[in-house]
């Protein structure tokens, strides 16, 4: 197949929407892997999108990562909405502070003049430890809210990168990858068809909860994430994706 050229980003957006069969794709110019500032573009495009969706009283879930932190950075301070709550979509203690969902949620909450509900649980812990944490009132409350999100904004990662970042053992890492995982989002690993092949042990949203959230927005950049984005896009046809030009072009051309 010939490498397809596009006259403008809108044409590219419509083409990716058709290929992925999702409601809306927003494409920002550039490549995050080459230029750091493209993260700002992803962040501000997503921030604008969120401002258009928010209603009074909304509960907003966020995940962690470099991409999500750019959204909190780029969010403007002039929201007119009241009684908003921002909740990290899963436990995240023990990672680089700036990119943890907890810190991203708190920054976003400040910008939106929203309440911030901490989810004070580690990213990974034994089943027993998790059970004990679930007895904690604060954890329970956060978890109840998580089950009733109005909006989820989530990052998308490559399975191989995320198993590394999560510090999984070599054994676990290779078993996750052998199961065909190409993508990771909100603590779940998926194969190219969007089938869940593994989930990290943490308190967070389940797939069936994810499917019920009225507004879900996935954000990712870099052409190395194209397969991961394709995988995640199969989860819901009514999701919105904010991606960069390099990921979009790779999706069009590896189809």
Looking at beta carbons only, is 61 or 155 nearer to ligand F6P?
Answer: 155
Q: Buried b vs exposed e over 213-237: b needs ≥16 C-beta within 10 Å?
A: bebbbbbbbbbbbbbbbbbbbbbbe
Token representation of residue 59 = 């509960």
**Cβ distance 98 to 190 under 8 Å?**
no
Give the interface segment with ligand F6P, choosing from 9-17, 49-57, 181-189, 198-206 (CB under 6 A).
181-189
Taking residue 127's Cβ as centre, other Cβ atoms within 10 Å add up to 8
# of chain residues touching ligand F6P (CB under 6 A): 14
* 65/29 Cα distance (integer angstroms): 20
Give the interface segment with ligand F6P, choosing from 2-10, 107-115, 139-147, 154-162 (CB under 6 A).
154-162
Site membership for ligand F6P, residue 153 (CB under 6 A): no
Site membership for ligand F6P, residue 239 (CB under 6 A): no
Specify burial of residue 201 (Cβ count, 10 A radius: 0-12, 13-18, 19+). middle
- The helix (H) or strand (E) run that includes residue 128 is helix 127-133
Site membership for ligand F6P, residue 159 (CB under 6 A): no
Give the interface segment with ligand F6P, choosing from 156-164, 202-210, 235-243, 245-253 (CB under 6 A).
156-164
Q: How far is the CB of 91 from ligand F6P (least distance, A)?
A: 11
∠ at Cα 153 (150, 159), nearest 5°? 135
Site membership for ligand F6P, residue 189 (CB under 6 A): no
Tallying the residues shown for the chain, one arrives at 255
Question: What part of residues 62-91 is at the interface with ligand F6P (CB under 6 A)?
Answer: 63-68
* 54/205 Cα distance (integer angstroms): 20
**Cβ distance 218 to 232 under 8 Å?**
yes
Looking at beta carbons only, is 58 or 190 nearer to ligand F6P?
Answer: 190
Site membership for ligand F6P, residue 157 (CB under 6 A): yes
Residues pairing with 24 in the sheet: 240
Q: How far is the CB of 100 from ligand F6P (least distance, A)?
A: 8
Q: At what angle do helices 66-74 and 37-53 cross, to 10 degrees?
A: 60
Site membership for ligand F6P, residue 218 (CB under 6 A): no
Question: Given candidates 88, 91, 155, 218, which one binds ligand F6P under the rule CB under 6 A?
Answer: 155
Site membership for ligand F6P, residue 185 (CB under 6 A): yes
Window 95-134: contact mask with ligand F6P (x via CB under 6 A): ----------------------------------------
Place of tokens 């997503």: 46
Looking at beta carbons only, is 72 or 185 nearer to ligand F6P?
Answer: 185
* 86/117 Cα distance (integer angstroms): 6
Site membership for ligand F6P, residue 186 (CB under 6 A): yes
Residue numbers at the binding site for ligand F6P (CB under 6 A): 63-68, 154-157, 162, 184-186
């Amino acid at each position: 197949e010939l490498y397809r050229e596009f006259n403008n980003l809108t044409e590219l957006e419509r083409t990716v929407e058709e290929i992925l069969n999702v409601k809306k794709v927003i494409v920002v110019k550039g490549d995050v892997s080459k230029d750091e500032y493209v993260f700002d573009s992803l962040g501000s495009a997503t921030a604008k999108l969120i401002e258009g969706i928010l209603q009074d009283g909304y509960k907003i879930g966020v995940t962690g990562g470099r991409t999500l932190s750019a959204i909190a950075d780029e969010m403007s301070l002039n929201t007119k909405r009241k009684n908003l709550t921002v909740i990290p979509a899963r436990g995240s203690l023990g990672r680089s502070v700036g990119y943890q969902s907890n810190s991203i949620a708190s920054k976003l909450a400040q910008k939106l003049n929203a309440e911030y509900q901490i989810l004070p649980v580690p990213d990974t812990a034994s089943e027993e430890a998790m059970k004990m944490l679930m007895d904690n009132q604060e954890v329970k409350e956060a978890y109840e809210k998580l089950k009733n999100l109005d909006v989820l904004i989530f990052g998308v990662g490559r399975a191989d990168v995320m198993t590394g970042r999560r510090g999984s053992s070599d054994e676990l890492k290779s078993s996750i990858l052998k199961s065909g995982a190409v993508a990771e989002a909100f603590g779940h690993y998926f194969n190219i068809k969007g089938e869940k092949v593994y989930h990290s042990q943490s308190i967070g949203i389940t797939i069936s909860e994810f499917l019920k959230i009225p507004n879900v927005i996935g954000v990712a950049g870099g052409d190395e994430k194209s397969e991961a984005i394709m995988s995640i896009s199969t989860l819901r046809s009514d999701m919105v994706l904010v991606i960069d030009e390099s990921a979009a072009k790779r999706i069009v051309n590896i189809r």
